[in-house]
Amino acid sequence: MNAQYRYILFYKPYDVLCQFTDGSTTPRATLKDYIPIPGVYSVGRLDRDSEGLLLLTNDGPLKHRLTDPKFAKPRTYWVQVERTPDEAALEALRHGVRIRGYQTRPARVRRLPEPQDLPPRDPPIRYRKNVPTDWLEMTLTEGRNRQVRRMTAAVGFPTLRLIRVRSLRLTLEGLQPGQWRELTPLEIQQVREDSKEQSSSSRSTL
């Protein structure tokens, strides 16, 4: 293992761009505001309005294996949606839905009790008094642009809040929004092992 490689686990807050620079004329928060380590890049992306687990590294070959669609690495999200999905909507998400001419891969989807220890979002979700919300846990093996949001919208239940809580065997345990840490030697070993698994073995977990 190259001793110069860095592996960073970051809890990305809401309203932070998943990049270190921003060409906008209106200043926006970026990874540079939180992570003072040059030369690392995010493995995959989270939308500006999404939160949660982000892995950063300067290990180019590893980054390629983890982001190449053919390797189908599982990622788990907690998703707060508007209204309460029925079983037909959940089954549609599990089997895959058509969004923008593309059929999504099968996903693991289950109803989730409202998380009790979840850090509040800043700013908070704007609730509608007469419209309930529900939480889902979704595990996908692909990461197309705004995919989770488009999937839930396709079955009639728009996403209000989206948090990535797990990627491979990495979780957010011990981190609060805006915090980061180096991966442990064991975690680095696990990530490298998981990155070499083929897509068929990853999909078999769904």
The set of catalytic residues is 47
C-alpha 94/C-alpha 155 separation (Å) is 11
Give the separation between CA 84 and CA 78, rounded to whole angstroms. Answer: 15
C-alpha to C-alpha distance for 101 and 192, rounded to whole angstroms: 34
- Give all strands (DSSP E) within 24-63, no chain letters: 41-42, 51-57
Rounded CA separation 36/41 (Å): 12
Backbone angles phi, psi at 153, to 5 degrees: -65, -35
Task: Provide the pairing of β-strand 51-57 with 159-167.
Answer: parallel
Cα-Cα-Cα-Cα torsion 117, 155, 97, 112, nearest 10 degrees, comes to 20
Q: Are 4 and 60 in contact (CB under 8 A)?
A: no
